[in-house]
Amino acid sequence: MAFHIRDTETDTLVRKLARQRGVGLTEAVKLAVGAALERSAAEGRMDKVREIQERIAKRGRTGLVADKAFFDDLSGQGDG
């Protein structure tokens, strides 16, 4: 499974990361790609959160107050 980097800048960056982390070149590539994939997944999750926030915002406010009594009632500890 050969992997040859022909770009000088990429080679320099991978070697710099390897030195900083104290790992080999293969591990440095794995770390960099793993971090990039995690960021990409996180961005996708944030897009979903924004979509949900926008849908909720379109509904408007109810005017109801979520105070201690409200939460006590939800948990079954209310007066009723």
Q: Per residue in 10-32, pLDDT tens? A: 999 999 999 999 999 999 999 99
Which residue carries 């982390």 as its tokens?
A: 21
Q: How confident is the model at residue 80 (pLDDT cuts 50, 70, 90)?
A: low
State the sign of the Cα–Cα–Cα–Cα dihedral 4, 5, 11, 13: negative
Digit-coded pLDDT (tens) for 52-62:
999 999 998 88
**At 69, which amino acid appears?**
A
Residue-level pLDDT at 52: 96
Q: Between 44 and 80, name the one with better pLDDT.
A: 44
**At 26, which amino acid appears?**
T
DSSP 76: T
